Structures are given as C-alpha cells and as structure tokens.
C-alpha cells in the first residue's frame, strides 16, 4: 500500500495534466482503495501481445503517459541499436478503439521529437498492414495502437522490429528496461517535429493487396465459383477497409456485408466482446447468411489480424468452426495444393504453436513437410520464418486463437490474407464437390480425429494475478497422475525447459529459445493438456486435446459426443 501511495503521489506532484491529477487525488482520498491499487500496483509491461491494459489514469493503465513512456523507451533503444544508420524510421498504425488515433499521434510526436522519421497511417488500418509497411519501407521498427479482441475499455500497443515481427528477446526485454529507466514524465519528449512525420495510406494499401493476390493457388476454382456467397463482418473494426476489397481483388464478386457491423466504433455497439471466438460476435453475420443462403461466414477482430468462420454442417445448420479446425484445414489445403502444383521439394515447412492441434504435425510429417512447434504468440512463428530464411520455404502457420499466416511478406497473423485464402479454400472444395464442413470431415478420416477445447478461468486484478501464480505453483508441485482415467506419460515444463516421464523418472531438455510459464501433460491414450497464464488477459488457460475414432462420415456425431465426454472428464481431473 505504501508503494502504491508513493507512486500515485508522484503522479499528483509531477508534470501531469490537471484532469489526470484530479483523478489521482480522488483515488487517494477514497475510503475504498481498490481502484487506487488496480491503477498503480504495477507498471504495464510487454507480454505475448505487447502493452495492453484498461484505459484510465495510473501506471497500470493505458493513457498518454504510459504510452508516452513506452514510445520514449522504444525511441531510446532504437537510437542505441541503430546508431550507425543516417535516419531511423518507424511505421505507426492504429485500430478503431477509443483513443487509438490520439495515442498514435502522440507516439508520432515523441518519435519525431527524438529525431526518428515517422510514417503515420492516415486512418485506421489492419495490424498486418503495419508489419507489411515496416518491411516495404525498410523501417527499423513500428507500432500499432490496438487491444486486438479485448473488450471496449481496453487499448494496447504492439511493438515491431525491423523484420516486421513483434519483438522477441532480447529486444522486448531491453525496451522494457529502457521504459523502466524513465524515472520522470519530464523525460518524455512530447513536442513533435512535423517535418519528420509523413502521412501514408492508399499507396501502401495497393502494394499490400497486390502482394496478397500473388499467393493464390487455385485461380481456376475461384473463377468457376466467383459468385460464391461470402458474408463478411469486421465487427466494427479495421477489416472493413481492406478485406472486402482484397476478396474482390482475388476474384470473389459476391461479398455480403453486415451493415450494422460495418460501422467503425470503439464502443462495439452490437457485441459484448468483439472477439470472433465468441459465438455472439458472429450472430448477426450468421443471421445474414441464413437470410441470403450464403456459402461461408467470415469475421475479423477489431485490428483484423484474427478471423473466425462459420459454415453449414451436414444437416444444413450453421456452426462455428473453431481456431484449431481452421488452422488444420488451412494447413491441409496449403500443403495439398503445394504438392499438386509440384512445389513441395522437401525443403518446405509449416509452423504451429505448442497449444495447437497435434493433427497438424501428423499432416505435415506424412506429406514430407517439416513442422516447428513454438510458444503462443505469433512473434515466435515469425522468429522461425526469419531463422529458416534462405534454407527452407515457409508454406503457412497458425495458432488455435484464430491467427493464421499463409505468406511471409507479413510477419504477424493476418486476417486480410487469411480471409482470401479461406475463401479460395472454400471455392476449391466446392470445385471438388465438397462443402467446407465435408472438407474438415475428410481430413479427420484421412489423418485421425481429435477434438480440442479451451477452458479459461478469469481472475481479475492483483488478487487474481496472485491466484493464477499460485495455481501454476500448485500444478508444478503436485502434477496430476492421470487425466480422465489415462496415466500421464510425459510432462513438459517450459518454465524449466524440462521434459519428465513420470512412469520412469527419465528427464530430457526441451529445445526452446527462452523459458515460458507453460505446463503440458500427455497421457497414454493420446490426450494433451496445456496450462498457461494469458499474457494479455487476467486468465489462466487450459487447452485440452483428446483423440477419438472416426471411420466413416456417418459416425461423426458419435465421435464428437464421445470426445466431448472425454474432455469433460479431463476438466474434472484438473479440478477446473
């Protein structure tokens, strides 16, 4: 409490605006100190998704001072790292959220005040386009102001390096140190240099779309199904600018909009949460699909780096396809078409995260394609692409949380290109007499059936963070011996980079670039459970994957039911 009060007092006495000081004083004077503690008990820090937090006053909130400190710290680091080049440059983008434009312009002023050239997008843009622009313009870094799919009270700040990827160690950690070295708001240079700020927009849009057009693998299938009905919603976000345009550039003529959700708004008026993982976020789009007898529904999140889809099942009912299934189908489609086009030579690879379905590994290995497993966070997929450059050819990659990348001229998950490839995959399936749902079933029949489920336990605030930390301690100290009646045969602890076989006591080292607070349990019957605290939300996440049996399409419903029962048994074993 003394530390919190001391930090708040520094804001009260420091060079902060009157509105901020009034809010701090109100919190200090309040009898209930909960709000004060939440606002000041820590500083916002870079996690798997950069800087992210609730907007408001305080060191643990997104505001012009925490954004300012992050930008000043990044500017200081860039000037040290690139001291030998004549002009350091950065790209700045932002999404639709409240304060996003303001934070973007303040960041542009701070970079320019530090002598750094700024390319500032003229309006909201998809996150992947910022990555593309960094690479295209030869910049050393870039940021986008976004909180991705978080609720409306959040905003965030993603930082990128010169390869267009989000920062990995040591750069992310070094930037944090630079931010922490800023002891006073007076060290932040807010007075910008307009001569160093260049507004960009349409020219980059066209270059980006032209590049995406080059990744088409089935142009004849698109031509034969160009009138396929595609319902698309940006859920009030940045996708509205480029995704319909890109789909048309790919050759699709029948894009059906959801007018209420084409309205750009940081209040996300039609949804509780603008997250394409949530069924409610797609409900208006699915309703539109029913009205128009559409072929597929696609929804991007507010910064258009993630995409969720819905399709008709074998009974004609609309169902949501989860991120695991979409990643599996996209990987299958890309590898299949690369093989059919004679592009697989033995030097190709795909990437998935450790919590994404193991069926992708089976699929890749059976087709002679290398597979890399990386931590959650697309920066790790980008890191592999960078390390393999010149040695192997990247085919595609993805993660269970609805992020996919089917090309390497962007180095972050990309809903713009993913929507184009998903639509192409649907057209190709249609050309081959299959619906998207039947395509998924055929993959299960060929490579085996598994079902995955994510279970999130939310614990808010400082007390919640402490609870989550204790849960991880308890799982390490007392790991389960079995899950749903099947003995655990392997435990991977990425915190110590140790793999242990409980039945034999044998241990081995895990080859990963850094440690991470993740635990994985593998059972005799092929189940996999991953446990990790979220890097961007106040949650502890459990990722459950169980194997099932599917010998004929007619048995699909039975296989799903059995898998659901097994997942429920695993959940009970974990006590969550």
Residue pair 450/358 in contact by the 8 Å Cβ criterion: yes
Residue pair 240/433 in contact by the 8 Å Cβ criterion: no
Residue pair 191/113 in contact by the 8 Å Cβ criterion: yes
Residue pair 404/413 in contact by the 8 Å Cβ criterion: yes
- Between CA 520 and CA 518 the distance in angstroms is 7
Residue pair 560/440 in contact by the 8 Å Cβ criterion: no
Nearest 5°: phi and psi at 457? -115, 115
Apex 508 CA angle, 503 and 510, nearest 5:
125
Q: Where does residue 500 rank: exposed (0-12), middle (13-18), buried (19+ CB within 10 A)?
A: middle
> Alpha helix locations (H) across 214-355?
219-224, 239-250, 283-292, 323-340
Q: How far is CA 190 from the centre of its chain?
A: 30
Catalytic residue among 89, 148, 417, 573: 148
Q: What is the DSSP letter of 322?
A: P
Residue for token pair 């193991």: 358
Task: Identify the CA nearest to 256 among candidates 225, 304, 297.
Answer: 297
- Between CA 430 and CA 453 the distance in angstroms is 28
Residue pair 152/266 in contact by the 8 Å Cβ criterion: yes
Q: How many CB atoms lie within 10 A of CB 324?
A: 26
Lookup: tokens for 324: 């695991």
Q: How many CB atoms lie within 10 A of CB 410?
A: 28
148 noted as active-site residue: yes
Q: How many CB atoms lie within 10 A of CB 19?
A: 9
Residue by residue, DSSP assigns 163-215 as TSBBP-TTHHHHHHHHHHT--SGGGS-----GGGEEEE-HHHHHHHHHHHHTT
Q: Report the chain's terminal Cα–Cα distance, integer Å.
A: 32
What angle do helix axes 202-213 and 239-250 make, rounded to 10 degrees?
Answer: 40
Helix, strand, or coil here: 8?
A: helix
What positions carry a catalytic annotation? 148
């Amino acid at each position: 409490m003394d530390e919190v009060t001391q930090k708040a007092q520094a804001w009260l006495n420091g060079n902060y605006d009157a509105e901020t000081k009034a809010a701090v004083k109100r919190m200090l004077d309040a009898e209930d100190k909960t709000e004060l503690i939440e606002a000041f008990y820590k500083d916002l820090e870079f996690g798997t998704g950069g800087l992210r937090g609730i907007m408001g006053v305080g060191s643990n909130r997104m505001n012009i001072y925490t954004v300012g400190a992050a930008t000043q710290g990044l500017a200081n680091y860039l000037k040290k790292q690139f001291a030998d080049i004549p002009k350091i440059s950065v790209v700045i983008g932002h999404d639709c959220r409240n304060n996003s434009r303001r934070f973007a312009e303040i960041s542009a002023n701070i970079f320019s005040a530090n002598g750094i050239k700024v390319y500032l997008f003229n309006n909201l843009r998809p996150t992947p386009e910022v990555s593309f622009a960094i690479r295209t313009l030869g910049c050393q870094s870039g940021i986008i102001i976004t909180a991705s799919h978080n609720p409306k009270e959040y905003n965030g700040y993603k930082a990128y390096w010169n390869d267009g990827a989000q920062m990995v160690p040591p750069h992310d950690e070094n930037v944090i140190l630079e931010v922490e070295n800023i002891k006073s708001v007076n060290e932040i240079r807010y007075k910008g240099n307009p001569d160093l700020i260049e507004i960009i927009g349409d020219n980059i849009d066209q270059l980006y779309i032209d590049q995406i057009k080059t990744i088409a693998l089935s142009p004849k299938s698109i031509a034969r199904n160009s009138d396929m009905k595609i319902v698309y919603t940006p859920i009030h976000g940045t996708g509205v600018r480029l995704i319909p345009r890109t789909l048309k550039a790919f050759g699709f003529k029948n894009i059906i909009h959801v007018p209420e959700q084409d309205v750009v708004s940081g209040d996300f008026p039609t949804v509780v949460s603008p997250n394409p993982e949530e069924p409610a976020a797609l409900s208006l789009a699915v309703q539109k699909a029913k009205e128009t007898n559409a072929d597929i529904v696609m929804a991007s999140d507010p910064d258009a780096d993630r995409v969720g889809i819905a399709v008709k099942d074998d009974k004609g009912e609309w169902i949501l396809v989860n991120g695991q299934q979409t990643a599996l189908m996209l990987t299958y489609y890309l590898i299949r078409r690369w093989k059919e086009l004679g592009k697989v030579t033995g030097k190709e690879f795909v990437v998935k995260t450790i919590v994404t379905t193991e069926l992708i590994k089976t699929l890749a290995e059976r087709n002679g394609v290398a597979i890399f497993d990386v931590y959650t966070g697309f920066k790790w997929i980008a890191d592999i692409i960078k390390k393999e450059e010149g040695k192997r050819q990247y085919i595609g990659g993805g993660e269970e949380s609805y992020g996919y990348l089917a090309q390497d001229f962007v180095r972050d998950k990309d809903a713009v290109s993913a929507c184009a490839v998903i639509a192409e995959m649907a057209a190709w399936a249609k050309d081959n007499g299959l619906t998207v749902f039947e395509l998924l079933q055929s993959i299960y029949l060929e490579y085996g059936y598994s079902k995955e489920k994510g279970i999130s336990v939310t614990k808010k605030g400082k007390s919640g963070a402490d609870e989550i930390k204790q849960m991880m301690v308890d799982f390490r100290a007392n790991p389960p011996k079995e899950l749903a009646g099947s003995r655990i045969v392997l435990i991977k602890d990425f915190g110590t980079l140790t793999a242990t076989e409980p039945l034999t006591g044998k241990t081995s080292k895990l080859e990963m670039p850094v440690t991470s607070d993740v635990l994985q349990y593998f059972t005799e019957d092929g189940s996999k459970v991953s446990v990790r605290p979220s890097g961007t939300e106040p949650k502890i996440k459990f990722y459950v994957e169980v194997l099932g049996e599917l010998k004929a399409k007619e048995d699909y419903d039975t296989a799903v039911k059995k898998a659901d029962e097994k997942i429920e048994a695993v959940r009970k074993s974990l006590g969550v």
